[in-house]
Structure formats: structure tokens, C-alpha cells
Structure 1
């Protein structure tokens, strides 16, 4: 598996780098990226089970899609942001954002392609741009918190300290960006 430093500078200077989530393949949008500078993470290929989507993935790899791994330091930045915001993301999602962040910190113009609201929320809070494919993307950054389903108290626990009822995650708007 390659790292960002393994990609030649000609590739890096062609404009926007599209960091692809599995959405591109599962929703069958990969044709629109065959002539673009695209990267993804290995875990995305493991998420693709649909035979047609797998063929689309393989075709995009043949036309230049690079499969990379983000550096651990960028994974940590994303994980720290998740702890702050309360978003819950898979390891694949974290890697996609970390890879985009790594390119961004190298001064590259980056666009994450995803319909996943969690990826969009975390990306937006890190100052990364994203593009939704089959639905409207998020318009504001959300912070998640636990709230008691009975008395309405805010807590960080699964069971309310006040009344003993279960809690659930609810979003509270933070700010527009």
C-alpha cells in the first residue's frame, strides 16, 4: 500500500484531489471520476461487496485511482475531533478523513466525496470540503450529546443519573461554517 509521498508531483499539481468514500462505488457514480485525480483508502475496497460496484472500483484503479494509507498523526487528529464532537465513525471513515487532512496539510486542494453525514460533519469541523452525491450535504456542524428520554437531562452516560431512564444521542447545533 502506498503513502502520499509515493505519488509523483505531476499527479499532485493537477488541481483538486478527490478523496473517495465507498459512496462513489455503492451508488454507482464512479464514471464521473475516471479523468480526475482520485485517491481512497484500502478499507473502502473491503466495504464493497456488490459485484458491479467492485468492477467499477477496479476500473477506476486501472484509470489511476490510488489506494493510500494516512499517517497515524492525521488519524489521531480525526479521532481527537470525534471525541470532541461526539460523532461516531467507522475506521474506514476515519481513514478517509485523515487522508484528506494529510493532503490538505500539504497545501493541496482536496474534496471528500461522500454521502455520509458523519464524515461530512467531521470534515466540516476540520475545515475540509466535501461533495455529496445523491443527497444534499450538511449545512451546519453538529455536536452530539446524550439526553435522558424521560426527564430531558443532559448527561454523558447511557443511564440518567437523575431518574434512571435510558439516554439517547441528540444533536445540538454548534455553528455554521
Structure 2
């Protein structure tokens, strides 16, 4: 079962070429430019019953929010990214084996942390699961990834992300 991000349609993914069940979220359609080729692919798949569009439940969105803060990706996720991850978690909890199709490294990083499989169409995908924190490049103060402001509370400099831990990615596969 595939969960399709906007990048899948943008990179030329053709839902009619695959026989497995395919899902997406309503916010993916909003990311596609109306009447563009990716938008047309999405609409043809939807109208041809090749693609099921489903919004995730609120409890799974909250779970994604917690996971994104834990790995330091919280500010990098769009609403669509959160929806894709939440739907994958929801389907996984129902006993399905979802595979997210996305070129977005933040989605892949969180999927990796939650044991969800993912594939990339135009990039090699992530090689490492990264845990990140925020820091001030001017005064070197550290902030938790849940810190809301984008600037240092001491000196006002824009915060940056730093990798604090790197683990080899398994692409959500067990035993690999």
C-alpha cells in the first residue's frame, strides 16, 4: 500500500502503472497547481478509483507532532507532510504495511524514526536517521527542538539546526 506525497506526482509517478492500493491526503491536491500535469495525474487516478484520498485522524496528527519534535524536524514539516505521516501511522496501526512515496527528507527522517517504510523517486533518500537540536550561531546557546521562536532569546540571532545524533537508516525495513 502506497501513501503518495505531492513530490510523487511532480516527479512523474503514474498511479495507473501500479496495481497496489494507493492513498493520499486532501492537502496534496492543494499543493499541486491546477491544470498542471501532476494535478491531472492526481485527478485521473482519483476519478479512476486508483487513488483513495483520506484525511488522517487528529490523534495521529498529534503523534506525528511529538515524533517531529523528538527528532528535531518540527519546524520543517508542512501541514501536508504531517498529514502524509499521520495517515501512514494510522494505516500501520490498522495492520497495513504503508510505504510513503516522497522525496522530502524530513518526511523520510520521521518515517524512519517511526518504523514506516518509504521510497524516493528522484533522490537517493536518507542514509541516516538524524536527531537535531537548535542552536544560536552567535552566542552558542542551545535550544530544544520544541523551542517555538526562530531567534535566540539572548542575542536575537536566527537559530540554526545542528545534528546531534546520526544512525544508519533502514528505510523502515526490519532486520536490514
TM-score calculated relative to the size of structure 1 = 0.81
User: Structure 2 residue aligned with 1:134, among 104, 118, 122?
Assistant: 122
Any idea what SS the aligned residue of 1:142 has?
A: strand
Q: Which runs of 5+ in 1 are unaligned?
A: 1-16
Aligned to 2:58: 72
**Partners of 2:49 and 2:18 in 1: CA distance:** 6
RMSD (Å), alpha carbons: 2.0
Count of residues in correspondence between the two structures: 160
| TM-score normalized with structure 2 length | 0.81
Q: Tell me whether 149-158 or 82-91 shows the greater mean CA deviation.
A: 149-158
For 2:38, which of 53, 71, 84 is the aligned residue? Answer: 53
- Displacement of 1:73 in angstroms is 1.3
Distance 1:165 1:57 in 2: 42
CA contact (8 A) 1:153 1:160 kept: no
Separation (CA, whole Å) in 2 of partners of 1:43 and 1:105: 22
Distance change (3 Å), C-alpha of 1:43 and 1:33 = farther
Distance in structure 2 (CA, Å) of the matches to 1:18 and 1:147:
36
Which runs of at least 4 in structure 1 moved beyond 3 Å after TM superposition? 31-34, 163-166
* Match of residue 94 from structure 2: 106
Is the 8 Å Cα contact of residues 6 and 31 (structure 2) preserved in structure 1? yes
- Residue 172 of structure 1, aligned match among 157, 160, 164: 164
- Distance in 1, matches of 2:100 and 2:49, equals 19
